[in-house]
Structure 1
């Protein structure tokens, strides 16, 4: 989806439904938003891939005029098998609860699943953009579950 600011990367959303807006004689789309790590309460972490996004529970109606193009959202496993990662390729391994910001809910509690495969003893999830021989933090190697 086209952002209002030209220096902002495009927004990513899944089109759920097309709707005719008879009042304005315009087609609208109901979308379900994807969030980038930096757009969440937790922010971007060392294990987040450059093309990682989170499927949210945030829905909205947008004009079809704001659609910039089509992209492909892969699972992490599909993404890691790509021979070439194009500008329109992204991956998603978490869902993000974008509900009201309750100060009693820790940022990490807004993600599903609560845990994913990790690559080291310090329990950092795998970053597909980083060629890993060993973890830079704990110096461990090998996938853990």
Structure 2
């Protein structure tokens, strides 16, 4: 079932009772309010919609309706997908809706950005969110994030970056004249601006952190 238009509330009939949970049709997976789900799109060629369940209700005939808050993919936003958007990135929108429980295909997890960068492996059900999105205006919260490298782009957790042991900034290998394979073989890295500084102390822990708010993880391409 397709999403309704932002700003157009769905009609809600009276006489409904609120449910604690709902078992996804054809499975033994139980969904509760506050959890995230995958919903069947109107176009079979598109990936499933992602929503956060706000409330579950049933009418006298036991038809289940799910009150949800949609997540948008970058390509669904007014600004479109940009280079720093990760493959599993979502925006929590202000677009609320009511859908039939039968449109739920499965469950998923939408992590915070920090928790996502801590994952050893990223599964098909793993996503992350670092922005809230206003569907009508295309505005984001927060409207500013930290940028890195010579290209001054926000961190994309799908990309490998190397940290300079002098200035502590992070760089994409391609932006400093290296291939990804060359970067993986380095024990340490010093950028061109810091390389002439004799006071820069070399350490062997150049890959112990990621740019994600100083979360300590291995910097490597994540499996999808």
Alignment TM class, shorter chain as reference: 0.7 to 0.9
Report runs of 4+ in structure 1 exceeding 3 Å deviation: 135-139
Q: Which has the larger radius of gyration?
A: 2
CA shift at 1:43, angstroms?
A: 0.4
When normalised by structure 1's length, the TM-score is 0.83
CA shift at 1:76, angstroms?
A: 1.1
| 1:27 matched to 2:27 | no
Q: 1:3 aligns with which of 21, 41, 49?
A: 41
Q: Higher relative contact order by CA 8 Å / sep ≥ 6: 1 or 2?
A: 1
In structure 2, runs of 5+ residues without a counterpart are 1-38, 163-170, 177-190, 192-209, 214-224
| 1:71 matched to 2:100 | no
Structure-1 separation of matches of 2:174 and 2:68 = 39
CA contact (8 A) 2:90 2:128 kept: yes
Q: 2:89 aligns with which of 37, 42, 52?
A: 52
When normalised by structure 2's length, the TM-score is 0.55
In structure 1, runs of 5+ residues without a counterpart are 102-106
- Count of residue pairs the alignment pairs up: 136
**Secondary structure of 2:106's aligned partner:** coil
RMSD over aligned Cα, in angstroms? 2.5
**Secondary structure of 2:43's aligned partner:** coil
Partner of residue 36, structure 2: none
Change (3 A) 1:137 1:112: farther
